[in-house]
Amino acid sequence: MTMIDIHNLTKDYGGGKGVFDVSISIKKGEVYGYLGPNGAGKSTTMRHLMGFIRPQSGRVCINGMDCWKDQKKIQRTLGYLPGEISFPDDMTGSAYLKLIAKMRGMKNFSYAEELLDLFKIDPGSGIKRMSKGMKQKIGIVAAFMHDPEIILLDEPTSGLDPLMQNNFIDLIEREKKKGKTILLSSHIFEEVEKTCDRVGMIQSGRLIKEFTIDDLRHSQMKTYKIGFNDISDAERINRIYPDASFNREKKQMTVSLSDSDINGLIFELSSCDIHFLSEEKHTLEEYFMKFYGGDNDDKLSIS
């Protein structure tokens, strides 16, 4: 069952700014990572889903409801953490959360209390005196405390320390087990890699790549690190694979190959005195940097 449906969404602000013909479909229980440089269109997409912006063309729906026409109904049921949170400075964290709870008609606060404990929050403090990280944690609690089925998170761990980032990952994994549907925009690649089922990459307002995390883990290109006991063996293999990274002093080589070429490497190494051979796993961050850094020559090919 599709819970989030973005179909040919376009909003052109001029000067290349906006989103253009973006289509994303997210199923119930799926965690979808949304990656791209600053200004790529991630937040604009999120704001359309919240009904803050009317599409210029295309369709944006949540649980079968039109995000623009049914915005009030959608906003009451969604969990949402914006990329830039604005709080009333004259309130305490507790007063703010109670206000949000009242707007949503919440009666049970047990989950909110559990989240406050998870993120080590003292809600009695004045928001004006809170650090950026503490305000971010209040925002996370507000997004999750009504136990929504669909959650939109725009840079959710911005300003959090590593311990709280890990707690957030634990929270997402827990929500995932409960069957929640989550759209997550983040610059923390480990966070996306650990929690998301699929990833969409957006650049200059256009969705340019979609893949599953399993695709990344089993990508067509493999990278191997080889340690040699004999420098002459290392030099011979380097002549066969001149594009490999070769450390003569350590007698080590790193080579990237497609699946179809691996047997050839094993054959060549069978006559060498090898100290070790290990496969290096590609990370989402490596793929992102290769893709957006212009080194997009299938060195990290994902089908």
Which domains does the chain show, CATH number per domain? Answer: 2-214 (3.40.50.300), 220-281 (3.30.70.80)
Long-range pairs for 156-161: beta carbons < 8 A, 24 or more residues apart:
156/81, 156/184, 156/186, 157/186, 157/188, 157/191, 158/83, 158/132, 159/131, 159/132, 159/133, 159/135, 160/133, 160/136, 161/133
Give pLDDT tens digits for 91-102. 999 999 999 999
Give pLDDT tens digits for 225-276. 999 999 999 999 999 999 999 999 999 999 988 777 889 999 999 999 999 9
The CA R_g of the chain, rounded to the nearest whole Å, is 24
Query: Which residue bears the tokens 């507790």?
Result: 94
pLDDT of residue 297: 44
DSSP string of 231-270? HHHHHHHHHHSTTSEEETTTTEEEEEEEGGGHHHHHHHHT
Tokens coding 80: 């949402």
Question: Over 80: is that where the pLDDT of 286 sits?
Answer: no
Helix intervals (H) in 129-188: 132-144, 162-177
pLDDT of residue 294: 56
Mean pLDDT, rounded, for 181-192: 90
CA 162 to chain centroid, in Å, comes to 16
Q: Any idea which of 43-52, 107-116, 137-146, 256-265 has the lowest mean pLDDT?
A: 256-265
Give pLDDT tens digits for 9-40. 999 999 999 999 999 999 999 999 999 888 99
Q: How confident is the model at residue 163 (pLDDT cuts 50, 70, 90)?
A: very high
Question: Over 50: is that where the pLDDT of 301 sits?
Answer: no
Q: How confident is the model at residue 289 (pLDDT cuts 50, 70, 90)?
A: confident
- How high does pLDDT run on average in the chain? 91
Interior/surface letters 235-262, b for 16+ CB within 10 angstroms, e for the rest: eebbeebeebebeeeebbbebbbeeeee
Tokens coding 6: 């973005």
Residues paired with 246 in a beta bridge: 253
Cα 97 to Cα 99: distance, rounded to the nearest angstrom:
5
